[in-house]
Structure 1
Amino acid sequence: MLLLMAAALGLASAAVAAAGAAGAVIAHSDPLQSPQWAWIHKELLQSGPVVFDSRVRVTGPAFAEDPMRVPIAFDASALGEVDRIVVAVDRNPIREVLAFEPLRVRPSLSFRFKLEQASPVRVAARTRDGTWHVGSVLVNAGGGGCTVPGATRRDGSWSRTLNRVDARVFPGFGGAAARVRLRVMHPMDTGLAAGIPAFHIETLVLADAARQPLLRLTLHEPVAENPIFSFDLRDAVPPGMTVAGHDNNGNRIAARVSP
C-alpha cells in the first residue's frame, strides 16, 4: 500500500512539474479569486479537470469604452489539438458567451461581446485528454452592456438587414493559410432590456463545398449586435465555402463565402 501511495504521489508530482514547465498551474483555486468561477467550472465545464494556462492567450482592453461592443481575441494554438473552446464572463447576468469547435481551423478567434460590469473574461480550451486549459483577462467597464437595447433595435433598422451575411477572405499570417472575416447582421437581444425579448443567433457552421464543417459556433445573448468573427484556416482555402445557422426564433442563415 505504501509503495502504491508513493507511486501515486510521484506521478502527481510529475504532472504538476510538467504543467508548470509548460506555463500551466493545476487548478486548486482560481488565481483571480472570483466567487463566480465555481459556477463556471461546474455548469459550463462540467467540473472537468482544469489548469490555468498562460498558453491560452487572451487579449482585451483594460477598460471597455463601449460595453456593448467589447473586443476580445484568443489563441490556444500552443496547446496543440483542441476540440472545444468556451468563453464566459464571470459577472455578466448571462455568463456563457459562446462555444467554438475549431474542427479545421486554428483554435483562435476574435469577436466582440457585451459586458455588464467589470469582470474576468474566461477562455477555456479543451484538449483531447479532456483537460480544460483556462486563460483569463480582467476588463473594467462603466456597465450596462447587457441591459440596454442595441443601436439597430433603437432605430428599427434591424428588420431590414436581419441575417444578412458579409464575408471576406484575407491572406494568412503567422503560419495560417488564410484569415476569414464573417459578419452576420442580427440585433442579438439579451432579453434583459425592458420590453424586448431574447432574440439571438444560436448556431453558425462554416463548411466546404461537400458540406463538411470547418468550424461550429454556438452563440449566446452576450455576443455583440451584428457580430463579426475573425478566424484562421489551417489549410488552403477550400472552394465553395458556405456559412449556415439559425437564431432562436427559427430564422435561417445561409450564404456563400467567396475568396
Structure 2
Amino acid sequence: MTHPFFRAVLTALLASVAYGSTWAQVAHADDPFHSFAWPDLHKAYLGGEPFVFDARVQVSGPAFAEDPMNVPISVDAKDLPDVTQIVVLVDRNPIRKVLAYYPQQALLPRVSFRFKMEQASPVRAAAKTKDGVWHVGSTWVESSGGGCTVAGATRQDGSWSKTLGLVSSRVFDQSPDPAQSTNHGARLRLRVMHPMDTGLVGGIPAFYLNRLQVSSSTGEPLLKMDLFEPVSENPVFSFDFAQRIPGPLVLTGTDNNGNRVAAQIE
C-alpha cells in the first residue's frame, strides 16, 4: 500500500504535468504553424505575458532562404497603436532570439534586416503595445540550413579586423511628392561592419554587436536595439521615421567584447 505522503507527491506531480500539457495545448491551438516550441518561446522571451496571434503584425521573408547566412526579413506593425517593443524569434534556431527593437515616438514600428537560419522554421515578430499585450505575427521560411554554424566571409578571409565598427548610412526621402509637403517622413538605412560570430563554429567564440542606438543631434534617443548572435554578418538595418528628423543623427553601440561603435549620420 502506498504511503499517504508519496500518494500526495505523486498526485501533485501528475497535476503539474497535466497543467503543463493543458497550457501547451492552449498556447499551441491558435498558432498558425502549430509549433511545439511556441509555449517555450512565449515563456522564455515574452515573459509569459498575455499575447494574441495578430495579422496586423506583418512578417515578410523569402519562401526559401537561398543564403541561410543572410535571410532578409521585414517586420511591419504600423497598424497597431502604441508599439513599445518588437522582438524577433526563430523557433528552430539554436539561438532563438534575433533582436529586440524599441521604436521611439519619431519612428514607425517597422524594421528590416538579415539574419542567420539553421533550418526551415517559423519566423516570428512579437510587438508589445502599451497595454502590456504581445501581438504576434509570423511567416514560414524554408531553408537548406546551416547558417548559424558556418563562419562568415570576413572571418574566413581574416578581413574583419580591418573593418570592425565601420559604419555606412544614408537617409532617404520618403515623401511621395516633395513639392506638396516638407514633412512626409524618411527612411534610415545603415550598415555596421562586424563578423557577428554565433559561437557555434569550432574555435570561434561568440562575438557580436549587442546594442545600437540612434539619437538626434540634441541627444534625444530615437531608436534602440538589442542584438543577438543570429543577426547576419555586417548587419544592415532599415528604419522608417514618421517625420523628417533634422540631422545630423548620431549612432552609438557596443559589442559583447566591449568594443564601441560611434558614427555621425548626415
CA distance in 1, matches of 2:40, 2:265: 38
Q: Is 2:66 aligned against 1:58?
A: no
Q: Is 2:35 aligned against 1:34?
A: yes
Note if contact 1:27-1:50 (Cα within 8 Å) is conserved in structure 2: no
Identify the match of residue 117 of structure 1 among 116, 119, 125: 119
Q: 1:148 to 1:173 in 2, by over 3 A?
A: farther
Offset of residue 29 of structure 1: 3.9
Query: 1:50-100, CA deviations, whole angstroms, 9 ceiling, x for partnerless residues?
Result: 111111111000100000000000100000210000000000000000000
CA distance in 2, matches of 1:173, 1:246: 33
Q: Is 2:208 aligned against 1:207?
A: no
Offset of residue 27 of structure 1: 7.9
Q: Which amino acid aligns with 1:203?
A: R
Residue 17 of structure 1 corresponds to none
Q: 1:173 to 1:107 in 2, by over 3 A?
A: farther
Q: Is 2:222 aligned against 1:222?
A: no
Question: TM-score w.r.t. structure 1 length?
Answer: 0.87
Note if contact 1:88-1:121 (Cα within 8 Å) is conserved in structure 2: yes
Residue 259 of structure 2 corresponds to 251
CA distance in 2, matches of 1:30, 1:47: 15
CA distance in 2, matches of 1:221, 1:39: 19
CA distance in 1, matches of 2:237, 2:96: 19
Residue 191 of structure 1 corresponds to 199
Q: Is 2:93 aligned against 1:92?
A: yes
Note if contact 1:54-1:135 (Cα within 8 Å) is conserved in structure 2: yes
The aligned length equals 233
Q: Which amino acid aligns with 1:109?
A: V
Q: Which amino acid aligns with 2:52?
A: V
Query: 1:202-222, CA deviations, whole angstroms, 9 ceiling, x for partnerless residues?
Result: 000000011110000000000
Q: Which region of structure 1 is more displaced relative to structure 2, 26-35 or 109-118?
A: 26-35
Query: 1:114-141, CA deviations, whole angstroms, 9 ceiling, x for partnerless residues?
Result: 0000000000000110010000000010
Q: 1:176 to 1:225 in 2, by over 3 A?
A: farther
Q: Which amino acid aligns with 1:150?
A: G
Note if contact 2:28-2:39 (Cα within 8 Å) is conserved in structure 1: no
Q: Larger Rg: 1 or 2?
A: 2
CA distance in 2, matches of 1:198, 1:47: 28
CA distance in 1, matches of 2:144, 2:28: 30
Q: Which amino acid aligns with 1:33?
A: H
Offset of residue 236 of structure 1: 1.6
Residue 180 of structure 2 corresponds to none
What are the within-5 Å matches in structure 2 for residues 47-86 of structure 1? 47-86=48-87
Offset of residue 176 of structure 1: 5.2
Note if contact 1:205-1:243 (Cα within 8 Å) is conserved in structure 2: yes
CA distance in 2, matches of 1:127, 1:82: 4
CA distance in 2, matches of 1:169, 1:160: 26
Q: Where does the alignment leave 5 or more consecutive residues of structure 2 unmatched?
A: 1-26, 177-182
CA distance in 1, matches of 2:184, 2:40: 35
Note if contact 2:30-2:53 (Cα within 8 Å) is conserved in structure 1: no
SS in 2 for 1:39: helix
Q: Which amino acid aligns with 1:164?
A: L
Identity of aligned residues (%): 57
